[in-house]
Structure 1
Amino acid sequence: MERVQLPYVYRVTKYDPADRDELGHYTAAEDTVSDHGEVEAAYLQAVLEFAVEAGIDRLVVREPQVPSIGQFGLEPPVRGFGLEGLFSAGIAGFHDGAEVPLDMGLELVRLMLRDSGAWCRLEAEGAFAVHVGWDQYLYISTSRPCEEAPVRTRGLGLFPERLDASPYGFEDEEDGVQRPGDDGFWADLHRAVADGSAGILEETYLQGASRWHHLTRDTVDAIRAGIAPRARLAVWPPLSSDVDAVLGAIPAEGLVEGVWQDDEGHILSAIADETAFPELIARMRCALAAALLPVHDGEPVPLFTAVMPDDDGVLRARWRTEPTPRDREWALRHSRGG
């Protein structure tokens, strides 16, 4: 397991260390949500102070995510997770590898402080990183020690504390080779569509957000051209035209993901538990074709998967797909130079 972590880590909060018990737990009554006012402004100024001292004026979005089921924050949901007014392209502009000026990075920190739904790590590779944890805990990492920023942060009424590591630092938990969505992958996809084994493509463009594509010989190239940067891809068999059989396989309880094709040819999906099964069934009843997919690991699995590389062919995305048998075959051929 690899932890991507800069050596100087600061936890910045509004919680006085004097109000922590022997285990480090905060015991006073400071509110755990943003005040949308002076305290929030102090957090953002603290990030600015550390960034300026580190010589940073641009940041890169890493591991962006949105809630996939419901709203996880303590505050009311925000339309578009607050991203529509921040990125000109709305949520489409919020992707792994997106470079933003420092002032936009501060606005992303504001969204995270407010639990607006969108979350990410913001980094300047090898030099600076910032992200927000639960309950207004802010973590700033730098490649060299900062002397002035902690002093100025205390002057803002906040408490910067040195840590060995952030509990939210990225950890690479997977071994093995990740297949890239390169020319070889798309050639394999063309062949799978031609022989009838592949029918839909799942594009996870943010953690928690996916879109689906109907695969035909005529659509593969156009789909490739529209895939989001660094997206995860999963190739699935065609949907079943026996919609009644698919609906009959919905369990009595648990989570399922229904995927279906509507009468205009669009591929739709929804995740539901037993409380929402009636609504899911009603939505899928008139589908042209449908399938049920596991929400958690299990059967069935995709035919094969990949993660999109950057335009120069380098795979810089840190997230991975769960390898399928065909992915393992590809990895074996890759290791042998085939």
Structure 2
Amino acid sequence: MTNQINYQWRVTKYNPDFRNENGSYSLTEEWTCPSEIGKVIYGKEFTLDEYIQVEAAYVETIIKFVEESGINSLRILKLSNLNISEEDKKSTLYETEFDELIVNEDMVLSINEIRLICKMVLRNFLGCELYLKDKFFVHFGWDYYMYIGSYVDCLAATQYAQNNRLFVERIQQSPYFFTEEETTRMIEWNEIDDEIIVGDEELTGISLDEYRRIFNLSTEHPVIGTFEIKQEQMGFFQKYLKHQMDFNKYEYQFWGGY
């Protein structure tokens, strides 16, 4: 029997008592990013220690949900490596362990690697989602909003989060959740050295297995996200496009999402 993600939660540091009738958070003086460490919020300096305490609650809550779901690894999805400068590496939030972990799309992460990746995402050194097909996901939203889905109703993990001053709200669906069947897949192109997209064309008639083969992805990958198209892949994609591909003029990328 195929597992299904039947349970989804929004996990945040924001008390839902302060949401208005539209669900928007009504308190304006809340930190939303680690870059605000040192700023005065509600008349009090937001300290590194306070940040680390909240971050640890987020990371360990994820681990509790993973473990209660009977899972010992997750995959990376929709990886975006942010440009980390030498100045970033001097930050008190940058750890030498970040350099030691080589991260790739579709990579399988152990529990300890999950901890490290989550810290990198929450500190804005990396962007990605974590998932296990049909069983589990973690979506990181803006402003320290986090969404977790599982095929298990994780009551103990929920209690752990609440004991560590986080708020867990049962939701119908993460705003970042969509199925393979709902996904639009297309080719986008821009002139070389110019990031502005000048054309796009939707792809049809290509199976997920074909996409996985051309991008060297596992059978678990839902083929969602953005992938660079290399010239040696031109023969495969040109069959499905009206646009005549020209790698001397354009850079191409595959995009799969809503």
Q: Give the TM-score normalised by the residue count of structure 1.
A: 0.50
Q: CA deviation at 1:321?
A: 6.5
In structure 2, list runs of 5 or more residues that go unmatched. 35-49, 201-210, 242-258
- Three-state SS of the structure 2 residue aligned to 1:61 is strand
Query: Does the CA-based 8 Å contact 1:57-1:101 persist in structure 2?
Result: yes
Query: Does the CA-based 8 Å contact 1:131-1:138 persist in structure 2?
Result: yes
Mapped to 2, the partners of 1:114 and 1:175 lie a distance apart of 30
Structure 2 match to 1:174: 184
Mapped to 2, the partners of 1:328 and 1:97 lie a distance apart of 22
Structure 2 match to 1:282: none
> What is the aligned residue count?
203
Structure 2 match to 1:38: 53
Which residue, 124, 138, 149 being the options, matches 1:115? 124
Report the CA distance shift for 1:174/1:135 in structure 2 as closer, same or farther (over 3 A).
Answer: same
Mapped to 2, the partners of 1:313 and 1:57 lie a distance apart of 18
Structure 2 match to 1:100: 109
Q: CA deviation at 1:40?
A: 1.2
Structure 2 match to 1:310: 216
Instruction: Select the structure of larger CA radius of gyration.
Output: 1
Which residue, 199, 207, 225 being the options, matches 1:298? 199
Instruction: Confirm whether residue 64 of structure 1 aligns to residue 79 of structure 2.
Output: yes
Q: CA deviation at 1:125?
A: 2.1
Mapped to 2, the partners of 1:315 and 1:54 lie a distance apart of 20
Query: Does the CA-based 8 Å contact 1:12-1:161 persist in structure 2?
Result: yes
Mapped to 1, the partners of 2:32 and 2:178 lie a distance apart of 24
Instruction: Confirm whether residue 138 of structure 1 aligns to residue 146 of structure 2.
Output: yes
- Three-state SS of the structure 2 residue aligned to 1:37 is helix
Report the CA distance shift for 1:325/1:63 in structure 2 as closer, same or farther (over 3 A).
Answer: closer
- Three-state SS of the structure 2 residue aligned to 1:43 is helix
- Three-state SS of the structure 1 residue aligned to 2:129 is strand
Query: Does the CA-based 8 Å contact 2:77-2:225 persist in structure 1?
Result: no
Structure 2 match to 1:155: 163
Query: Does the CA-based 8 Å contact 2:136-2:149 persist in structure 1?
Result: yes
Which residue, 74, 77, 85 being the options, matches 2:97? 85
- Three-state SS of the structure 1 residue aligned to 2:239 is helix
- Three-state SS of the structure 1 residue aligned to 2:157 is helix
Q: CA deviation at 1:174?
A: 2.0
Query: Does the CA-based 8 Å contact 1:109-1:132 persist in structure 2?
Result: no
Spell out the pairing of 1:239-318 with structure 2 (5 A cutoff). Answer: 257-258=192-193, 295-298=196-199, 308-310=214-216, 317-318=223-224
The one-letter code of the counterpart of 2:116 is: E
Q: Give the TM-score normalised by the residue count of structure 2.
A: 0.64
In structure 1, list runs of 5 or more residues that go unmatched. 179-231, 235-254, 259-292, 300-305, 333-338
- Three-state SS of the structure 2 residue aligned to 1:131 is strand
- Three-state SS of the structure 1 residue aligned to 2:184 is coil
How large is the Cα RMSD of the aligned pairs? 3.9
Q: CA deviation at 1:256?
A: 6.4
Q: CA deviation at 1:31?
A: 1.5
- Three-state SS of the structure 2 residue aligned to 1:32 is coil
Structure 2 match to 1:17: 16
Q: CA deviation at 1:49?
A: 1.5
Percent identity among equivalent residues? 25
Mapped to 2, the partners of 1:130 and 1:314 lie a distance apart of 16
Report the CA distance shift for 1:166/1:82 in structure 2 as closer, same or farther (over 3 A).
Answer: farther
Q: CA deviation at 1:169?
A: 2.3
Mapped to 2, the partners of 1:65 and 1:329 lie a distance apart of 26
Instruction: Confirm whether residue 47 of structure 1 aligns to residue 62 of structure 2.
Output: yes
Mapped to 2, the partners of 1:313 and 1:54 lie a distance apart of 21
Query: Does the CA-based 8 Å contact 1:86-1:104 persist in structure 2?
Result: no
Query: Does the CA-based 8 Å contact 1:131-1:139 persist in structure 2?
Result: yes
Query: Does the CA-based 8 Å contact 1:42-1:158 persist in structure 2?
Result: yes
Q: CA deviation at 1:166?
A: 0.9
Query: Does the CA-based 8 Å contact 1:109-1:131 persist in structure 2?
Result: no
Mapped to 2, the partners of 1:10 and 1:60 lie a distance apart of 19
Moved more, 51-60 or 164-173: 164-173
CA displacement, residues 146-182 of structure 1 (integer Å, 9 cap, x when unaligned): 1211112111111000111111225653258x9xxxx
Query: Does the CA-based 8 Å contact 1:19-1:26 persist in structure 2?
Result: yes
